[in-house]
Amino acid sequence: MERLVTTAQAAQILGLSLQGVHYRIKKNQLKSIKKSGKTYVYIPEHIQDQTSYEEPKVELKQETFNGYEEVIKVKDEQIDLLKKSVKWMKKQYSSEIYRLEKNQKRIITVFNREIELLQSAFNEMRSIYKQPQIETVQQTQNNEEEKERFISLLEFTLYLKKHNKSEKDIKLIILKAIQQKDSRFIYNRKDKKLLILNEDFSDLI
């Protein structure tokens, strides 16, 4: 014998959810009919109402609840790990930024020192260029010989310019030669006079 019940009653009797009942109706696992727009299910008389079995339902709910707790626990662990990663990255970036700023200050200091040295060199060269560029060593009968022995600063400049040297390069070459006491450059610091011997300058090119 079978009895006709609503889908809600069938869910209580069979211990299923309402969706579970509709699923079994759809799969033809439960016989059903529709009356006045409502669905009714045929249930055998010998099947007892499963609502009396509360313990399995409680266990199922408890298991589900425990599953949610595990998911939440895993998410919390992931969030904690991400927070630690972000904190570590911030620390690393802060350290790197401090290092770069420190290096930048050091580089600027070195550049300033180089600029001061170049400025000093240019000032010294300017004082040299303000004085007569060439004077003969002796005003004697060997005047022509002395002229052949020395070249003018202009001639020396034109010679280096032919080899793609700029005026800045030429000034630095002369200053370096004087500082290194190059015998081809005779500079009298007291009189601010420069003499350049007419020799080979291929090593300066």
Q: Same domain for 152 and 112? A: no
The domain that contains 14 carries what CATH number? 1.10.10
Residues with Cβ within 8 Å of 16's Cβ and at least 6 positions away in sequence, in order, are: 10, 24
The structural domain count of the chain equals 3
Note the pTM of the prediction, 2 decimals. Answer: 0.30
Q: Which of 105, 130, 155 is the last residue of a domain?
A: 130
Condensed to tens digits (0 to 9), the pLDDT of residues 48-86 reads 655 544 444 444 445 555 667 778 878 888 898 888 888
Percent of the chain scored above 90 by pLDDT?
Answer: 17
User: How confident is the model at residue 134, as a pLDDT?
Assistant: 43
Tell me how far apart the alpha carbons of residues 141 and 39 are, in angstroms, rounded to a whole number: 139
Task: Kindly state the DSSP code that residue 137 receives in the 8-state scheme.
Answer: S
Q: What angle do the packed helices 18-26 and 7-14 form, to 10 degrees?
A: 100
Token reading at 34: 């529709």
Condensed to tens digits (0 to 9), the pLDDT of residues 87-143 reads 888 888 887 888 888 888 888 888 788 888 888 877 777 777 655 444 443 455 555
Domain extent, residue 40, equals: 2-52
Token reading at 185: 């450059």
Place of tokens 């939440």: 72
User: How confident is the model at residue 60, as a pLDDT?
Assistant: 45
